[in-house]
C-alpha cells in the first residue's frame, strides 16, 4: 500500500508538532530552558522519523523531499528574502497589527530573549531545517 507511508509521515509531522503545541511539554518540564531543549530534541526526532519513513519504508532518495545540497545561490536568496522581510513585510504587518488594535510581540520576545543564545541559535536552525522537511508543500 503506497499511501501508508505518506499517512504515517503526515501523522508524525502533524501529530508530533500538535503534541509540542499542547500542554505535554509544559507538564513534563517545569523550567523554560528544559522545555526549550526538550522541544528542539522532539522536533529533531520528528525530522529523523520522517527521513526514516522516506529512506527506509518508501525507499526514496532525499531528493524526493526536494532537499538539495546547500549552494551559494541558496544563501544569496536567503539574504534577499531576509532583507525583504525586515524592510517590507515586518513594517507592513506591524501597521496591520496596530490598525487592528492587536497586542504587540513584547511578551513573546521577552520569553525568547530569556533563553540562552545557544538555544536561540539551535531553535532558528531547527525551525529552518525541520519545518521545511515536515511541512513541505509538494506540487
pLDDT at 44: 93
Task: Provide the CA 65 distance to its chain's centre, in angstroms.
Answer: 15
Give residue-wise pLDDT tens across range 110-137: 888 888 999 999 999 998 888 888 876 5
Q: What is the DSSP letter of 31?
A: S
Average pLDDT over residues 8-24: 82
The per-residue pLDDT for 67 is: 73
Q: Which residues contact 12 (CB under 8 A, 6 or more apart)?
A: 46, 49, 50, 53, 134
Model pTM?
A: 0.71
C-alpha cell at 62: 532525499
Read off the pLDDT of residues 25-69 as tens digits, 9 standing for 90 and up. Answer: 778 877 888 888 888 998 999 999 988 988 888 888 877 777 777
d(CA 26, CA 24): 5
Amino acid at each position: 500500500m503506497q499511501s501508508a507511508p505518506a499517512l504515517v509521515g503526515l501523522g508524525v509531522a502533524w501529530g508530533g508538532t500538535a503534541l509540542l503545541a499542547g500542554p505535554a511539554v509544559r507538564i513534563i518540564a517545569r523550567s523554560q530552558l528544559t522545555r526549550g531543549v526538550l522541544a528542539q530534541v522532539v522536533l529533531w526526532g520528528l525530522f529523523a522519523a520522517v527521513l526514516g519513513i522516506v529512506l527506509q519504508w518508501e525507499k526514496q532518495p532525499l531528493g524526493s523531499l526536494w532537499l538539495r545540497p546547500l549552494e551559494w545561490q541558496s544563501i544569496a536568496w536567503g539574504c534577499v528574502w531576509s532583507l525583504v522581510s525586515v524592510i517590507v513585510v515586518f513594517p507592513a504587518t506591524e501597521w496591520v497589527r496596530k490598525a487592528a488594535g492587536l497586542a504587540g510581540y513584547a511578551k513573546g520576545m521577552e520569553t525568547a530573549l530569556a533563553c540562552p543564545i545557544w538555544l536561540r541559535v539551535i531553535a532558528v536552525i531547527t525551525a529552518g531545517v525541520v519545518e521545511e522537511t515536515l511541512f513541505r508543500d509538494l506540487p
